[in-house]
Amino acid sequence: MTDHIVEFQPHNVKIKVPDGTTLLRAAMEAGVHVNASCGGEGACGKCRVIIEKGQVEGGGGKRLSEQDLQEGFRLACQSRVIEDLVVRIPVESVVDASVLNVAKTSRQTARVRQFDLDELKEQGLFIPPIEKRYLELPEPSHEDNVADATRLVNFLKAKYGEHRLVVDLPVIRKIPDVLRANHFKVTATLARPVQEGRKTRIINVQTGDASSRNYAIAMDIGTTTIYGQLIDLHSGQILGEYGDFNGQISYGEDVITRIVYAEKPGGLEKMHDVVVGTINKVIGKIVKQAKVDRDEISTITLAGNTTMTQLFLKVNPRYVRRGPYVPASTIYPPLNAAQLGLDLGDHVDALVYPIISSYVGGDIVAGVMGSGMYRTEKMTLFIDIGTNAEIVIGNKDWLACAACSAGPAFEGGGIKFGMRAAKGAIEDFLLDPVTLEPMILTIGDVGAKGICGSGLINMVSLMFEMGVIDNRGKFNRDLKTDRIRENDEVYEFVLVWADESQINRDITLTEIDIENLIRAKGAIFSGCQTLFEEVGLSVGDIEQVILAGGFGSFVDLTKAMTIGLLPEMDSKKITYVGNGSLMGCKMSSLTNRIRKDIANVLRRMTNFELSETPSYMDHYMAALFLPHTDLKLFPGLAKHLEDSRDSQRSFPNISGRASS
């Protein structure tokens, strides 16, 4: 078979591939990232590339216009290499991790809540999971020649009152040389049992006094991004933090396409290897940032949704995506990190957060544990919004949860110019009330490339308030502006003209985009309503809201209420915890109290399958308006709309429309 050379620009990478290889596969093998939402079926149209030199076979499809084709655009997943090529990856198709690691701006709109070690100690919640003990042991003699491990155990008992100690095999393997390297001066790392009365394991020994350096890693395995933190177990401080895109993205953007991939022969192993690869990259970065030796890391805690958890642990998620949606297990025993492929010492346990159900995963459990929701008296609504939105309601006495499929709108999916919250994404937006000329703010303050989730919410909320769109999400046809136009029978609003954009195309917001956003927010709102109804409460009973997920950090809460995504309430009651999954992992690293409480929380948690709850569809249909069919649920907003519209132009009456 003949091979061809494919050169990728702007990366300037060349690769030799066999005749007939798809460009997506060629890019993957060359290590060149191209967005590919649909797993290579030509459906999402995200993997647009420009053929600068040479010809490919195929590569068209309904996602490309005639003009696109003439300009050399092809879908990488549909194009087969038949000769040498030069291929340019357009900016909007490149995954750029740099934005994940920029310092957060002050745009946060809800109070950030993170526990620290001192607070745990004050509240009596501090049970150290890992401790180091330094000992100067007497050297052995013919009168006293007990085994090295026995000597260590005996003196840990005598000097520190330790008891019920067991010694792990990696420790036995290294203890003879470690003891003799420095006159039997040694530091032992002790891993405490979660249940009292169980055994304390000696998991590591180091020469000399290494007791002051004791570190842990927390890791959130997200479908899109993987975030890690390196934590000093003495101070509780975060010494390193890094995020990267989950390498599995190249095999499909959502969990379903990943599960499908994992069902192919060798697919599960590949998904495992790839996610482990990304985790190792993140570990490498944070270890370097914190100037810590890998051998000084004593433990790692990881959390992810059910599919990410199963792929990471090489447990086939085949039945997670098929009714009745049964996961393999909720709880995983502690595992050896090195055996899972992690670049850590062989003494390191990997603790993986348990999951609730196929669609309420370890990331949510971590959020519930880490936020302290499970210990509070207050009736709490916890929401983690991403592609799926997971909702937990309850307090220290009981908990109920559900997942609703919001669709990918909040992450830019299903939106014509949607993109992740990466450089060039429009994140905020204002409109001149007279000229309707927009004011655009992008992440990274560069030329606009597309619209991210928070930008979408902000612009739809504003346009709705201003009457540019009505409560069904349709543009006001009467407005006199060339920015509102009909294109391929779809109305759209031109946010950025082609010559001002970074992608040389008009960036628009279409009515289809708005419809998708309304569906997404409707799914979440009706999910909350249904769950409340099932437990016999109403939205008004909520005493606090905890928002988790990247979502909360950029979205204006008032605007989220305006479109009916969140129930209307005093925003002082809303707490934002950021990455709840990562926070939960960090908290488990700091205290065993969390791990001890998890079993109880799992028992107290009731999972509701919304698809099996008849009232959900009614609630959903009623929520497919801005903000809702029943404006009484949003009294403040109703009042505000009346006031502001009275004082501006006379757009059609909102409540009138809603009842039509």
**Contact set with a copy of itself (CB under 8 A):** 140-150, 166-169, 172-173, 175-177, 180, 197-198, 313-316, 318-319, 323-333, 335, 339, 355, 357-358, 609, 611-612
How far is the C-alpha of 22 from the C-alpha of 33, rounded, in Å?
14
How far is the C-alpha of 249 from the C-alpha of 538, rounded, in Å?
39
For residue 87, give both structure tokens.
């291929």
DSSP 372-427: TGGG-SS-EEEEEESSEEEEEEE-SS-EEEEEEE--GGGGTTTSTTB--S-TTEEE
CB of 144 to a copy of itself, least distance (A): 8
CB of 434 to a copy of itself, least distance (A): 54
CB of 215 to a copy of itself, least distance (A): 24
Per the listing, tokens 């596969």 go with 25
CB of 173 to a copy of itself, least distance (A): 5
**Would you say 134 or 319 has its CB closer to a copy of itself?**
319
Helix (H, G, I), strand (E, B) or coil at 13: strand
Residue-wise burial string across 345-383, b where 16 or more C-beta atoms lie within 10 A, e elsewhere: bbbbbbbbbbbbbbbbbbbbbbbbbbbbbbeeeebbbbb
**Would you say 146 or 498 has its CB closer to a copy of itself?**
146
**Would you say 360 or 457 has its CB closer to a copy of itself?**
360
CB of 320 to a copy of itself, least distance (A): 9
**Would you say 146 or 490 has its CB closer to a copy of itself?**
146
Tell me what percent of the chain is helix, strand and coil, each rounded to the nearest 5.
35, 25, 40
**Would you say 123 or 145 has its CB closer to a copy of itself?**
145
**Would you say 143 or 646 has its CB closer to a copy of itself?**
143
**Would you say 274 or 605 has its CB closer to a copy of itself?**
605
Distances (CA, A) of 473 to 333, 417, 512: 48, 17, 9
CB of 137 to a copy of itself, least distance (A): 12
CA-based radius of gyration for the chain: 27
CB of 216 to a copy of itself, least distance (A): 21
What does DSSP assign to residue 506?
-
Contacts of 335 (CB under 8 A, 6+ apart): 313, 349, 350, 352
CB of 309 to a copy of itself, least distance (A): 10
Give CA torsion, residues 520, 522, 527, 532, to 10 deg.
150
How far is the C-alpha of 64 from the C-alpha of 559, rounded, in Å?
34
**Would you say 10 or 323 has its CB closer to a copy of itself?**
323
Is 362:344 a contact under the CB 8 Å cutoff?
no
